[in-house]
């Protein structure tokens, strides 16, 4: 049995649950509030639930700490990205307790971020981080949240469609500095992700056999891959390795700047060089789409292309296999070649078939067509009679 009692001007409740004594302030001067709270707690204990005292006091900062702790424990490579997402969410929800983060507040957050010009994909990444925070809190013992608000997922319209033509690849390759040429060439020919390229070591290269090995745990999918290297790439890598061995003999990195691993390709420098050669809106990730498309065009099976690029789902692979305007023109040319003549007809008859095949007279109803229609109608009447 529980009871209500008063401390000063505030009413408190006391009850037992799972052999433990609980005391809780109602933060109210009304006895009716304390009585209702006591009935609620006794009902929760009767249903076998632990009192939700901790869940009602959990703050957003505790959710964010749990989220970042999960990234640290599991050794996720995107911890820095998770920290950035948590910081952005803290600006909006940092002053709230978890139980006070409602769907209305989340909708207001979405509207505010959209007014700032952010794409739906960016907002979805932030909402996904918030969802992860609540799910991790719900799995704790006892749970740090009693309920989870509805967090919507926005429809994304910013589907990536860029790729490099062979002319653009040659043009940009000549303009890039030496330390950026290597990751650019590797990305164009292999379709590797930027992070995979920049973490490469020379010990992963077998230039005599033309093979590159990605060890398990070093890729986004955590799976290892064996990637073939074309002759052009092997020539460039041998030259770069010789130069690296002379100047920086202790550096193990394939992609480096003055011996230090190249952590990332600076977007400002990339955009500046692209603009210098007349290319706009080009991304390093466009190389990945380009490599996949080129592999398919060269007759490499889709399964092998997916093994090389590291794609695990067919839907992603289809989205990357982009059809360019040149592909459409080539298809039109092949269609015209296929219909230049009908099988079994001489060329003079073919010309008559291709040009003016449908005249106005052939489209107009004829006396024969009328007789045929009348016969069909008569036959139908005979069947129904």
Number of domains in the chain: 3
pLDDT bracket for residue 363 (50, 70, 90): very low
Of the residues 320, 338, 358, which one is the last residue of a structural domain? 320
Are residues 206 and 81 located together in one domain of the fold? no
Q: Answer yes or no: do 316 and 230 share one domain.
A: yes
What pLDDT, on a 0 to 100 scale, did the predictor assign at position 320? 60
Strands 225-228 and 256-257: unpaired
Give the domain CATH number at 215. Answer: 1.10.443.10
Domain hosting residue 37, numbered range: 3-51
**pTM surpassing 0.75?**
no
Q: Are residues 236 and 282 in the same domain?
A: yes
331 within domain boundaries: no
Residue 335 lies in a domain: no
173 and 254 inside one domain: yes
Domain membership flag for residue 305: yes
Render the burial of 97-133: b for 16+ CB within 10 Å, e for the rest.
Answer: bbbebeeeebeebbeebeeeeeebebbbebbebbebb
**Residue found under tokens 């592999």:** 295
In a domain, 154, yes or no: no
CA atoms within 13 A on the CB side of 33: 11
From residue 313, how far is each of 25, 317, 318, 374 by CA, in Å? Answer: 53, 7, 9, 58
Is 44 in the same domain as 64? no
Instruction: Tell whether 313 and 199 lie within a shared domain.
Output: yes
- Of 302, 320, 338, the last residue of a domain is 320
Across 125-134, 172-181, 198-207, 216-225, least confident range? 216-225
- Pair 185, 314 in one domain: yes
Same domain, yes or no: 233 and 298: yes
Q: Could you give the 3-state DSSP secondary structure of residue 4?
A: strand
Listing from the earlier edge strand, what are the strands of the sheet with 10-17?
A: 3-7, 10-17, 20-25
Tell me the C-alpha distance between 162 and 288, whole Å. Answer: 10
At residue 311 the predicted structure's pLDDT band, cuts being 50, 70 and 90, is: confident
Tell me the average pLDDT across 94-109: 92
Task: Render the burial of 219-240: b for 16+ CB within 10 Å, e for the rest.
Answer: beeeeebebebeeebbebbeeb
Residue 355 within a domain: no
pLDDT digits (tens, 9 = 90+) for 171-206: 999 999 999 999 999 999 998 989 899 999 999 999
- Same domain flag for 67 and 23: no
Domain finish residue from 278, 293, 320: 320
The residue-averaged pLDDT of 60-64 equals: 94
Give 1's pLDDT tier (boundaries 50, 70, 90): low
Q: How far apart are CA 67 and CA 90, in angstroms?
A: 12
Q: Above 90 in pLDDT, residue 61?
A: yes
Residue 32 has pLDDT above 70, yes or no: yes
Cα–Cα distance measured from residue 105 to residue 131, given in angstroms and rounded to the nearest whole number:
14
Task: Kindly report the number of other CB atoms within 10 A of residue 19's CB atom.
Answer: 5
Residue 148 forms part of a structural domain = no
Secondary structure of 13-71 as H, E, C letters: EEEEECCEEEEEECCCCCHHHHHHHHHHHHHHHHCCCCCCHHHHHCEHHHHHHHHHHHH
Say yes or no: 44 and 112 in one domain. no
| Residues 98, 198 within the same domain | no
Q: Do the domain assignments include residue 73?
A: yes
CB 2 within 8 A of CB 16: yes
| Helix, strand, coil distribution of the chain in percent, nearest 5 | 55, 10, 35
| Dist. CA 149–CA 134, nearest whole Å | 9
- Residue 345 located in a structural domain: no
d(CA 308, CA 192): 8
Q: Does residue 217 sit in the same domain as residue 307?
A: yes
**pLDDT tens digits, 285-309:** 999 889 988 888 888 887 888 888 8
Phi, psi of 256 (to 5 degrees): -145, 165
């Amino acid at each position: 049995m529980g009871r209500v009692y008063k401390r000063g001007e505030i009413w408190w409740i006391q009850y037992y649950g799972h052999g433990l004594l609980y005391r809780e302030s109602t933060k109210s001067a009304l006895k009716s509030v304390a009585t209702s709270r006591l009935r609620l707690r006794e009902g929760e204990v009767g249903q076998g639930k632990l009192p939700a005292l901790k869940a009602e006091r959990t703050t957003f900062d505790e959710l964010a700490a749990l989220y970042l702790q999960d990234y640290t424990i599991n050794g996720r490579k995107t911890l820095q990205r998770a920290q950035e997402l948590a910081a952005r969410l803290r600006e909006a929800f940092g002053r709230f307790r978890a139980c006070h983060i409602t769907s209305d507040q989340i909708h207001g957050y979405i509207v505010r971020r959209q007014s700032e010009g952010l794409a739906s994909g960016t907002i979805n990444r932030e909402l996904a981080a918030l969802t992860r925070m609540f799910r991790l809190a719900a799995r704790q013992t006892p749970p740090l949240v009693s309920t989870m608000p509805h967090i919507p997922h926005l429809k994304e319209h910013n589907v990536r469609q860029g790729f490099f033509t062979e002319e653009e690849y040659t043009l940009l390759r000549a303009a890039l500095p030496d330390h950026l040429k290597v990751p650019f060439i590797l990305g164009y020919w292999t379709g590797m992700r930027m992070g995979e390229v920049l973490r490469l070591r020379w010990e992963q290269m077998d230039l005599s056999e033309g093979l590159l090995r990605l060890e398990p745990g070093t890729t986004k999918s955590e799976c290892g891959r064996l990637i073939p290297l074309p002759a052009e790439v092997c020539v460039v890598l041998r030259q770069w390795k010789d130069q690296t061995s002379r100047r920086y003999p202790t550096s193990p990195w394939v992609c480096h700047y003055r011996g230090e691993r190249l952590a990332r390709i600076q977007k400002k420098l990339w955009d500046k060089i692209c603009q210098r050669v007349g290319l706009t809106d080009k991304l390093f990730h466009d190389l990945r789409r380009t490599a996949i498309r080129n592999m398919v065009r060269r007759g490499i099976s889709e399964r092998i292309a997916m093994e090389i690029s590291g794609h695990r789902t067919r839907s992603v692979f289809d989205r990357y296999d982009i059809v360019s305007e040149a592909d459409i023109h080539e298809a039109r040319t092949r269609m015209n070649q296929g219909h230049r003549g009908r099988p079994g007809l001489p060329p003079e008859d073919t010309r008559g078939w291709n040009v003016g095949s449908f005249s106005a007279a052939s489209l107009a109803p004829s006396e024969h067509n009328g007789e045929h229609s009348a016969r069909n109608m008569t036959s139908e009447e005979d069947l129904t009679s």
